[in-house]
A and B are shown apart, each in its own frame.
Chain A
Amino acid sequence: MNQVDDNDILVRVRDLHFQRGTRPIFSGANIDIQRGKITAIMGPSGTGKTTLLKLIGGQLKPTQGAIEFEGENIHQLSRSKLYKLRRKMGMLFQSGALLTDISVFDNVAYPIREHTNLPESLVHHLVLMKLQAVGLRGARHLMPNELSGGMARRVALARGIALDPTMIMYDEPFTGQDPISMGVLVQLIKLINDALGLTSVVVSHDVQETVSIADYIYLVSGGVVIEHGTPEQLNASTSEWVQQFMQGLADGPAHFHYPAETYLDDLQAGVK
């Protein structure tokens, strides 16, 4: 990256190392997330995509390396500064993570009520606007357990943008969706990014959907960034691995198996 680009970069991940127990999840990943763009982070499941989002959100601490948000190292902030910073980030969990004991309306109102002293009439207007944006204004009286998976994610999206964050992170937004709600979500992510001038990070292994809206793509595997570039650049890549992933082939340089002893050794070892 040259100097001119530097101000355009919202999140800068440098030499990221992280491990669970003794198992390394990241070993030296470098990622730049550009302002105003949709950056996709793709990789096989179990590579640590969710972990990466939690690291960026400051919920996990890297063992080495740094993650900067607007030039501030997230993991050196005090607890109260970290909580302040998180107001600039929205995150959509795979499950939606809605609060189950309050209605859709109250879920979207939750961050607004927690962080502002706006009068209830204004909160009402704001919530309806956000719900309108995701097409669920009519569902505001429902409880989270009355929503389908796709609806729950859209409510979570409305809640994620309730405080007009700078950046929003989506964890596997397309997984387990029927084609229609998948299409809806794809459009919504693009629309919201452009209309609100957000920066979006989409973590996914659904290649086609993600590629269709991403401005820039990182392919992650084995704890490092294997390849990055615009969708066109990646499609034109000559790397076997990149082609395997972009075309969704089961076999190739990337492995389907979780790391293990050889199959034969395992079977011969008998029951321990």
Chain B
Amino acid sequence: MVNPVQMLGRSALTFFERLGRAHLFLMDALWGFFSMVMRPRLLVQQLYSVGVLSFLIILISGLFVGMVLGLQGHYILSNFGAEETLGVLVAASLVRELGPVVAALLFSGRAGSALTAEIGLMKATEQLSGMEMMAVDPMRRIITPRLFAGILSMPLLAAIFSMMGILGGYFVGVGLLGVDEGAYWSQMQSKIDFSADIINGVIKSFVFGVVVTWIAVFEGYDSIPTSEGVSRATTRTVVHSAFAILGLDFVLTALMFG
């Protein structure tokens, strides 16, 4: 019988060992930036499959989230006769919170899981080993471009999400519920602060982009090379990304607005 203390100790050791490996892995992948500069085509390909292919889901989800914000916001604000501030409410919620957070959650489901599965399967079918033996470093050839594609795409996708949301709020608030169009835009312009709101939102989505893509590529690279191993790694990517996004969001919000 293994006693509970031993089990706790063993899982703690495994956890920290893996965490250590993940950090070395990240350093190694980031270091590959310099050789990637020589071959920008690798990055462009990944920007397409990681970023551009996530475009549609971000576009549609952003629109609906903004429309709901418009409805709910209008319902509450009209109690106080403050419907003209609907634009501020919609934009602030999106730019500060919902844009970075929801876009990152969608991104981990759409692109993160695909990255893990792709890299895990490449490992399981010995394609990564095969590359190594062809003297092609899979860290440079496969991991680095995917990591940077994720890091670059995330802030842009979050910005697009927020923009679509603001449009959605506009359609519902101004189009359906009769909020004054001039008030919607001008209140938004005067109350949303560039550094406090927009820059902080961009910083958040940048951090989420690093973390989500890091988790995704590491889980794939470190997966057990069997079908079950890859399927578990894919699940872990989505679950761990969600925890990381929501947890970090709290920390970052506390630091920025606290």
Contact = CB atoms under 8 A, between A and B. Distances in A.
Contacts of A83: 135, 137
Nearest to A85: B135
A159 B125 contact: no
Interface in A48-71: 54, 57, 59
Nearest to A59: B132
A214 to B, nearest CB: 22
B134 A159 contact: yes
Contacts of A84: 135
B197 to A, nearest CB: 42
B129 A87 contact: no
Contacts of B135: 83-84, 86-87, 111, 114-115
Contact of A93 (B126, B136, B137): B126
Contacts of A59: 129, 132-133
Contacts, number: 48
A265 to B, nearest CB: 19
The majority secondary structure among interface residues of chain A is mixed
Contacts of B129: 54, 59, 93, 97
Interface string B134-147: 11110001000000
A100 B136 contact: no
Contacts of A95: 125-126
The range of chain B's interface size is: 10 to 19
Contacts of A86: 132-135
A13 interface: no
Interface string A70-99: 000000000100011011011101110111
A89 B133 CA distance: 7
Contact of B133 (A57, A79, A99, A110): A57
A100 B133 contact: no
Contacts of A93: 126, 129-130, 133
21 contacts: A59-B129, A59-B132, A83-B135, A83-B137, A84-B135, A86-B134, A91-B130, A93-B126, A93-B130, A94-B126, A95-B125, A97-B126, A97-B127, A98-B127, A98-B130, A99-B127, A99-B130, A110-B136, A111-B134, A114-B134, A115-B135
